[in-house]
Amino acid sequence: MNEIIATNNAPGAIGPYSQAVKTAGGMLFVSGQIPLVPATGAVVEGGIEAQTTQVLDNLKAIVTAAGYSLADVVKTTVYITDMGNFGKVNEIYGKYFTENCPARVCVEVSKLPKDVLVEIDVIASK
């Protein structure tokens, strides 16, 4: 039986989806997170650095609520609206994933919800 994961330490879903789903087999699928401040639901102030930090903090909160850690993340997908921001995103990302880094995809997209600059989803396993 799959378990729905929800925490107030990350923004609530803004559509018909769950923050994350944990499978009976130990896989954790975390929905894409955008840089919303959990307490207000507003987009974090600042540029790509502030947005990337907020996204990763949101992901960490959900992963932690499920009983996992960022060290359990095996795959990420990073969506950015400007590949020119890749270096800045990568620098901040590297502060969260320091050893045994997960596999990753990074793609430029034309637009993200609420006109944010970055969205990231993760898959974790225990």
How does pLDDT run across 69-116, given as a tens digit for each residue? Answer: 999 999 999 999 999 999 999 999 999 999 899 999 999 999 999 999
Radius of gyration of the CA atoms of the chain, in A = 14
* Amino acid occupying residue 17: Y
Q: Which residues are catalytic?
A: 106
How does pLDDT run across 19-60, given as a tens digit for each residue? Answer: 999 999 999 999 999 999 999 999 999 999 999 999 999 999
Q: CA of 37: how far to CAs of 2, 24, 55, 109, in Å?
A: 27, 30, 9, 22
CB count in 10 Å sphere of residue 93: 21
pLDDT at 13: 86
Task: Dump the DSSP string for 34-72.
Answer: -SB-TTT-PBPSSSHHHHHHHHHHHHHHHHHHTT--GGG
